Amino acid sequence: MEIARDAERKPKEVPRATQSAPRNHDSRRLERPSGSAPGGSGRSQTRPSRGGGPNSGHSRPLHVPRGTDNSNQRQAYLPKQDSKNDQDRKKRLRDEGKCFLCESAQHLARDCPQSTQKKPPAGLHAMGLGMMSPAEIRLAALDEAERDALWEIVLTTIAQSLPFPWDELEESAGGVFATTRFNIVEYGGFDLYLIQDRHDGQEHTLYKSQLTDPNFDLITHLIQWKTEFYEGLAEYWNKNIPSTAAATETKLILSEGGLDTDSDVPPLLDTDSDSDWSDSDTESDISDVPSLEDSFKEDVPWALD
């Protein structure tokens, strides 16, 4: 009876579930049951943290890379938001077509003299070097240097061929051979040039392909262009300016219509007719005029007493 009672008092042991062996593709670590290791003395396997602080559950403190702390990170630039009054003011100025800075109607904000943003200078730097690759910058510089060298050759060739047939040597001989007589600029594109002649004020357009063509004769082209210009100008003057023959023909037409220009002129204005006046008649007329003293005596006799 006592043996049966002792058996009832003992707790029934729950059978431990057998752990299956990990599979090859299972990357999970097997968790050891809490408590003492098998065959150990029952002491804890966790190590105390360094510095005597409380144990956080990790054997070592985590390494934090430098610069990853949020307190050391640079805050991103956020543009200042315009207030309600500024937005209303800009809207009003935009509707009126005025400048945002000085409220002038003569220009916009990008062209305002008070603007601190300056425009880039003309040339290679104005092409946006920040948006160009090093190869594109090099090609642009080579094109600019090639253009300047080509212009120098053109100006030298023209200077060695002066004077031209239509140059005015008698009036301005110094301007014909001046070193600054001709000038070249880009005209509407990188491949079209404008040659300016300060002597006669003419301008000639030439393409880059023409100047680089070995068979192109620049001087013959300029002389032919100037010849056509002056011939067209002479033809215009002959058509629009009346000549002496045209004036004579007009006079004959008026006389045939009954209008005799010579007879219609009054005698006093007719310079072609013989005048009956002579110097002797003029002197006699002047002698007949009473003197000022006689006239004064007759009119005011008491004034000379």
- The pLDDT, as a whole number, for residue 269 is 47
- The pLDDT, as a whole number, for residue 232 is 81
- The pLDDT, as a whole number, for residue 217 is 92
Bridge-based pairing of strands 182-186 and 192-197 is antiparallel
Alpha-carbon dihedral 128, 131, 135, 137, rounded to 10 degrees: 10
Non-local CB neighbours of 197 within 8 Å, separated by 6+ positions: 181, 182, 203, 204
**Tens place of pLDDT per residue across the chain (305 aa):** 556 566 566 555 555 555 555 555 555 555 555 554 455 444 545 555 554 555 555 555 555 555 555 555 555 545 555 677 778 888 888 888 888 788 887 777 777 777 666 555 445 444 554 566 767 666 666 777 888 888 899 999 998 988 888 787 766 656 788 888 899 998 877 788 999 988 888 888 999 889 888 899 999 999 888 888 888 877 777 766 555 555 555 555 555 555 555 555 555 544 555 555 555 555 555 556 566 556 555 554 544 44
Q: Which two tokens stand for residue 110?
A: 């990008």
